[in-house]
Each structure stands twice: as structure tokens, then as C-alpha cells.
Structure 1
Amino acid sequence: MLKAELRKKYMQKRKALSTDEAFLLSKKIFENFIGYFKPEKGEKVHLFIPIVEKKEIDTQIFIDYFLKQNIRVFVPKVVADQLIHIEIFEDTLFENSYWGIPEPVSNEDSGEAFFHYVITPLLYCDTKGNRVGYGKGFYDNFFENISEDVKKIGVNYFNPDENIDDVWENDIPLDYLVTPTDVLSFGKGLE
């Protein structure tokens, strides 16, 4: 299927989930992530803050856990059409962006160039790690500029069941996909 068709199909599937279903599935995804990757104190995790109206995976569960375990948390923010990476803490102040995404009030980029894990938003991921996002290209640009050692991890309510037919040469595949039922590896292996 083409990305545009998959984007539409999986936005509808996500929209059909009740708020309770989405939360319970998010919890299972979180549990699968923690059980598989076992992040440790001092490690750095980059993850998105969900757009609630779009029923994105509830990453607040992840953030609360990471902060309690002294795992460093970084979130993206778009400033002047660039994705910057801001470290957050329990007292970080947030405001909604143009897209309705809660973002830190601060525009101070952390300057971090290495993260142990990058947990990535997506609408769909196929069996080769190719992802369909919202089509803005922010994460492909981000992936292009990070170390190969960073684990690029997608999270999704749904397992892959069809391939993406229009993968572009500058699309960078994920290393893993975490769903409520599985952790799929696309060849990177757990180090």
C-alpha cells in the first residue's frame, strides 16, 4: 500500500479505539518496552509527547517511569522548522504547539548528540522497519544525524500486516517496533 493510504487507514483504526482501550494498549506497549530493553539509570531516552486528540501512544507512562528511575528524558520541539531536543525534568513547564503537541516552554536545545533510545511516533510500520508518520520528515532528518548505535524504536497499537510500496531512498527504517503484543527487531539485535 502507499503511505497516503496507510496513513488514512491507520488514523481511522486509531480513532476507533476508545480512550480506555488506547490507555490499556499504551500500558502494554510500555511494559513490553521496559521488559525487552531494560533501560538503566543515567541512560538517555528521546521520546515524543503524544497528541491526545490523535490518540497517539500515551508516553507519559514512559516519562513518569524514566524520571523516577533517574533515566534522562529528552523531547523534541520544532523551532524555526528545525527539530531540537530538550531535556525535561519533573518541574519542566509545557505549552501546546501549533499542532496541539505539548512542548517545553524553553527553546534551549540540550546539545545532546547521542541517545540510548529514540522512541518514535508513527502511524504504521511495516515488517522491514519502514514507517509512516505524518509526512513532515522531521524524524528522517533527525535519524540522518544520529549515531548508528542509537536504537530507533517505533511504538504502535497495531502489528505490521502489509508492506509500504512507496519507500523513498532517504527514508531511514526503525531498528525495532514495540506493540501491545510484540517487540519486533529489524536486524539490529539487542546489545
Structure 2
Amino acid sequence: MSDAENVKALNGLLNGIAQRVYYGKSEISEELLKNEIYPDMSQEEFHALHDKMRGLLKSMAVADMDQTQLDAFLTAQTRKHGGVSAEQAAALARFWKAHRTRVRDSLLSQSRWEPALRALDWRVDVQTASSRGRASSTPVALVELELGRNGQDSEFLCLEFDELRVNQVLKKLAEIQKNIDSIVHHS
């Protein structure tokens, strides 16, 4: 293959990997990419190239690399034994410049729970007099949650908490935060 053909083939491979991994096109398989883009390459060579490019794209995507980070990363990859050639690094840089935002958006949407919390509003009301004329100063927290699935209208959930319930919710949130912290610090 000429240099231009190599660059074109590598761009096709990177696009195919992105289509499958980040854009949900499950019909694009490693075998399809090999047969369409690299029909003359052995299965072992193609598998190694595919895995290397997929791994590099994953590293770039997970770090959401900006141009400075990308340049440093690709420079290191070109100097590394078994890394990438200068032409491959250039192709990766062009690909990432064109696809970074879309890959990032795809990763964000894949990691989002549904239904998602779209908004939260709250206030504390203090009732100053009861209907029977007795003075009361019991605070009540009112919380309105806006929940929704992607592409659908929101649903609203209104909750009312007295002081005891607010304290119970805060305690549970502190427990959740503690559990999250323990998982993050052990990873």
C-alpha cells in the first residue's frame, strides 16, 4: 500500500472502531473491518493493529485529552518500542480532533442513569399560625425533583420533610458519600 492508502485505511479503521465502541453500531465487527479495509493483512496482524488502535482511542477518550495532552501522549507512543509510527500518530491526532466532542458526548450518555435528575428546587416553610389559632414554628422542607429520560418530557416529584426526615436524609447521603469514597480510594 502507498502512504496515502495506509493513511486512508487507518482512518477507516479508527472510524470503524469509534462507530462500534462509541456510537453504538454493533453491526461493525472486527471481522468486517478486516475484510473491508485490510483484506490482504493476516488475521493476527490485523488483530494486533485493531487492538492497539482501540486501546489508544480508549486512552484518549477516557482522559478526554486536549491538544496538549494528545501531543504528549502521541509523542510518547512514537518513542515507545512497539508504539505507533509518526504517520499513525498523525492519523490519530486528526481523528481525535474531528471526533473528540462526539466521543465525549457518547461516553457521557452511556454513563448516565435514566431517568436522570434534571433539576432540584427546594425551600423551607415555617408555619406561623395554625388553623386553630395556635402559634407554631415547625419548619417543613419542600423539595421538587424534575426527573426525565432523554428525549422525553419531565416528570415532577414533590416531597415534604419535617426536621426529623431532613436529618435522616442527610445521614443517608453522608453514608452514601462514605461508601463512594471508600470505593474510589480502593480503585
| TM-score interval, smaller chain | under 0.3
TM-score normalised according to structure 1 size: 0.21
Greater per-residue helix proportion: 2
Greater per-residue strand proportion: 1
Q: Which has the higher contact order (CA 8 A, sep 6+)?
A: 1
Larger radius of gyration: 2
TM-score normalised according to structure 2 size: 0.21
